[in-house]
Amino acid sequence: MSLRARLTDPDDAVRLAAVRRASTSGEVGLFEDLLDLALHDTSEVRTEGGLAEVYEHVGDAAAEALGRILRRRSEVDPRVRAAALDLGNDDERVATLLYYLGGPYEPLRQELAASAEGRLRLRAARAMLSGHRPPELTSALLADPDPAVRVEGLRGTRPDQDLVLRLLREDPAAEVRLAAARELRFAPRVGSEPFIAAARVEQDPRTRAMLLSCLARRRHDRDNRVAILGFLGEPAGHLRRDAAQALTDVDDPEVAAAIGLRALVDPDAAALSALLAHKKLLTHVPELREPLARWRRQPVNDGDRWTLDRALAAPEAPVPAPRPDPPDTDRLLREVLRWAVAALEPVVAEAYDNGEADALALVRTWLAGGDDDLLRMALAGEENLWHTDPHAIKIGAAWDCAGAALARDLAWARRVGLSAAAEQGRWDPAAVALDPERGPIVAARRAVALTEVVHRLLADLVRAGVDAPPPGPLRYLVRTGEDLVEEVRASLPPDAGPGLLRLAMRPAEEATYRAALAAAVPGNALAEDPDLPETVERRLVDRARRAVRAWLRALADDDRAPLSFAPGPDGALPRFVPSRLWGYVLDRAVVWLRDGRTSGPVRHGPADDLLRRLAALEFGQAADLERVFGLIAATRAAHWHREVARAILAGEPPARTDPLGPDLADPGRPLDRPWPADLVVRLSDGTVVAPPTPLTTRAWPERAGRVSRCGSCGGDVAVEGAVGWSHVDDDSYGVVDHWFAGTLAGACPACGTNAAVTARLVRSADGELSWARP
């Protein structure tokens, strides 16, 4: 095989050997092949192995061979000149060729350096090694209009530092600013100030990354720390990671606050790991210990496990006491609303849009520096929605952001922030996927708790004059593998309703709970009914209303019917309740509202409000009374329902099996002994008094007792009996008195003689009860 053929062989080693041979062979016709290899061949061949491993570049070897050949000629070869001027060739390969051609081709290099074409000037600059360039050439390169040439000039030996700083500040080309920052990165006499100033205005991601590297290698004074914190909001995750790593050892509450804020919303796992590696994070933000401990309990990779273990190993610190708001409340309000808007964005994107997206867009524009007319437009959109579709299901927090901003009300803005966080938690896709019932509740509660921490950290940063990291939706509210049942159980409030209590039950507990509910209305409810709790409460109320209807019908007959809530037949309901019975039935309602107690507090609520209105009437409709007892039944059924759920959660049998509580006992039952006085009267509200006594309610006597003399032996005889309404003493001249009469009977304990006494009680208009002596 000829030498020329070997120069075009596909084997790199063969071509390299042929190039070495061509420089001394003198064979005709090799120049063009060598020039082509020098300009286009980028292959490398390993020529030595072991510890002395060496690679040779085929193209560089061809350029060196051409240099040896052309040294024998004094003039510039036109083929080389044409190749050097051809813009189709690679600039680096042309510069390498000129370097190996050496001094005889310096005129060609100078011709390229004086060219109007920037790429030709770049070839001329690269043809001279940076260490061999004189200072005047470096200065000329730094002043070249082509950015690539200026970048090449920065590669020279120790360029003028002031000129490099000027390029960092003022050069319009991002690649030049990047090279200038790289040149100054290890400059010992350059502090943080030039890089801080450049970072405020720099937009190029690569240059910003280099500026961060420069700042990380400077002394971490306050300005330096604040500048590095600005990189926590970079779109690139690796920049956020590098910024967090640069501040890992800094013990500063402002740094910890900013890192804590970013850790709650950062979506990048590597950046989050670097944020959590901050050594003083839990010292200054102790509220994050609980979520970090929760994350540690869930399956994580080895890197996250190591990071969380190191973070949680920090000594526990107390939660800082609340501090007054910073003086710049307007700035704090804007920061709070930014976080609220960020929390609402994923919610609005998923929900049906009733105008919330436009409202948030207007609020974002206002936060970016818009005027208050934007907020008024947002609120006008909400008002228009009320007129066009008053029943639309909307996300009110979206418009509340505009309202709080327009009112400049910081407290309102904080409430909106908590509401927005709760909305985000309820719509959190990870929570819904894990458990559609419990997941949103747990996520919403955690989001609200974390948002309270966010508001405190924002206030600390505003107070310190530090820009907060950009907001975002809260992350990792619920993680795969969590036991949400236990989470709901551990966070039950004291006044938790049955619906929330049910979510804290295990499957076996829920089966027992449903069986207990179904047993309360036998034959009318099935334990498999998905709406069993609502069905049971509704049917209990229906039972109470039917019982009251039958009781009112019996009252019209004998005035003294007991009220029993056991299932019974329905009956016709009288239209009106006479005035002589009106006060009595209201007293029965009050006793039942007290859970069957004759005294004590009354449950406040709709039933109590209606009772107060009805008490002002002399008589009323039976339908109103039925409604009162229905409201009371609903209250009692709800309380019984809660007691059942709590008992099952505690692993105990329900204390009460009768949902409606004790029946209201027969007014004719005997008085309890011993009597507190020789003369006692039991009122319709269950209280026992000794007349004369003032009455503060509309209660009337239902049973009386007194001590009388035995006609046979003269001993004391206790007699008692029912007293009923007798008549009204209304002569139109004096006060109106209600009279009650009855016969009190008893047997003498000494001789057994029966005794009977007529009793007359008077209830005056001013509410005083007295005994009318015969």
Separation CA 611–CA 522 (nearest Å): 31
In a domain, 214, yes or no: no
Question: Quick one: 564 and 424 in the same domain?
Answer: no
Say yes or no to pLDDT of 732 above 50: no
> Domain for residue 485, yes or no?
yes
460 and 342 co-located in one domain: yes
Same domain, 581 and 693: no
Flag whether 392 is in a domain. yes
Would you say residue 597 has pLDDT above 70? Answer: no
Does residue 265 form part of some domain? no
Domain identity same for 333 and 455: yes
Closest CA to 585 of 702, 493, 486, 677: 702
Residue 236: per-residue pLDDT: 93
Flag whether 561 is in a domain: yes
Q: Which two tokens stand for residue 540?
A: 């209990």
Two tokens at 594? 């007290």
* Residue whose tokens read 């507090």: 601
DSSP state of 662: S
463 and 366 together in one domain: yes
Q: Are residues 440 and 353 in the same domain?
A: yes
Tens-digit pLDDT profile for residues 320-369: 998 999 999 999 999 999 999 999 999 999 998 889 999 999 999 999 99
Cα distance between the two ends of the chain? 153
Contact 80, 35 (CB under 8 A): yes
pLDDT per position as a tens digit, 599-633? 555 666 777 788 778 877 777 788 888 888 888 88
**pLDDT over threshold 50, residue 717:** yes
382 pLDDT band, cuts 50/70/90, is: confident
User: Once rounded to an integer, what is the mean pLDDT over residues 259-277?
Assistant: 93
Across 428-444, b (16+ Cβ under 10 Å) vs e yields: beebeebbeebbbbbbb
Task: Tokens for 619, please give them.
Answer: 């008589």
Task: Give how many domains the chain has, as a whole number.
Answer: 3
Nearest to 664 by CA among 541, 544, 563: 563
pLDDT band at residue 304 using 50, 70 and 90 as cut-offs: confident
Domain that holds residue 704: 679-771
Please, where are the H alpha helices in 465-578?
Answer: 484-490, 498-503, 507-520, 532-558
Q: Which residue has the higher pLDDT, 514 or 773?
A: 514
Residue pair 84/97 in contact by the 8 Å Cβ criterion: yes
725 domain-assigned: yes
Distance CA 215, CA 223 (A): 10
pLDDT at 170 over 90: yes
CA-to-CA dists, residue 456 to 24, 49, 172, 412, 450, angstroms: 80, 63, 41, 15, 10
**pLDDT higher than threshold 90 for residue 591:** no
Looking at residues 293-307, what average pLDDT do you find?
83
- Confidence band (pLDDT; 50, 70, 90) for 92? very high
Q: Which of 407, 391, 408 is nearest to 332 (CA)?
A: 408
CB atoms within 10 A of CB 28: 7
Q: Three-class SS string for 188-231?
A: CCCCCHHHHHHHHHCCCHHHHHHHHHHHHCCCCCHHHHHHHHHH
Report whether pLDDT(263) > 50: yes
> Which pLDDT belongs to residue 524?
63
User: pLDDT tens digits for 553-586?
Assistant: 777 666 556 677 766 556 656 677 766 677 777 7
Would you state the pLDDT for residue 425? 96
Same structural domain, 333 and 448: yes
579/439 same-domain check: no
Evaluate whether residue 243 is within a structural domain. no
Residue identified by tokens 């009860």 is 769
* Domain final position from 475, 491, 507: 491
Q: Which of 607, 630, 649 is the last residue of a domain?
A: 649
What's the pLDDT band for 426 if we cut at 50, 70, 90? very high
Residue 215: which pLDDT band, with cuts at 50, 70 and 90? very high
Asked whether residue 653 carries a pLDDT value surpassing 50, the answer given is yes
The answer to whether residues 642 and 685 belong to one domain is no
Residue at token pair 């329902």: 641
Same domain, 592 and 689: no
346 and 438 assigned to the same domain: yes
Give the mean model confidence (pLDDT) for residues 48-62. Answer: 81
- Tell whether 337 and 446 lie within a shared domain: yes
CB atoms within 10 A of CB 268: 14
Q: What is the pTM of this model?
A: 0.74
Residue 734, pLDDT above cutoff 70? no
Q: What is the pLDDT of residues 433-484, one digit of tens each?
A: 999 999 999 999 999 999 999 999 999 999 999 999 999 999 999 988 889 9
Residue 76 lies in a domain: no
Q: Write the pLDDT tens digit of every residue in 474-501.
A: 999 998 888 999 999 988 888 888 889 9
Using pLDDT thresholds of 50, 70 and 90, give the confidence band for residue 415. Answer: very high
Instruction: Please report the pLDDT score of residue 221 as a whole number.
Output: 92
